[in-house]
Amino acid sequence: MAKRTPRRSDTASPIDRLSIRLDLASGAKIGPGKIAVLEEIGRAGSISAAGRALRMSYRRTWELVEDLNRSLGTPVVETAAGGSGGGGAVLTQAGKAVVSSYRAIEMDTALAARKHLLALNRVCTGKQRST
């Protein structure tokens, strides 16, 4: 028996996307790019490796981290000097909290927006129900 494939009007299109940028009272602007940088630093353990993985220069990656540090008033990444002994970077508790809070806000917002995205898709594809 073939699986039922949901009609476009049943679910949000796979290309529908909701991008969130937080503009905090502190002046911090936190969006998908900065969160990707923090997550990649957490995975890779290095600012330069995170930049390479994201196809971003080391300088740009560092600038994004420094912008968060400055605007949040607390470090989000802790670094150790490189050299023969290694070096590297790890997320601080604040950095981990920024990522987890952002992802929670993103999830809650996506759930809240789902019915509106479905309605928008119906209108845009001409599949309105008459009342």
- pLDDT tens figures, 78-127: 998 766 666 799 999 999 999 999 999 999 999 999 899 888 888 887 65
* Amino acid identity for residue 14 in this structure: P
CA atoms lying within 13 Å on the CB side of residue 29: 3
For residue range 14-28, what is the model confidence (pLDDT) as tens digits? Answer: 667 889 999 999 999
Q: What is the pTM of this model?
A: 0.78
Residue 65 neighbours by CB distance under 10 Å: 22
Given a contact cutoff of 8 angstroms between Cβ atoms, the answer to whether 23 and 83 are in contact is: no
How far, CA to CA in Å, does 11 sit from each of 54, 103, 125?
30, 22, 13
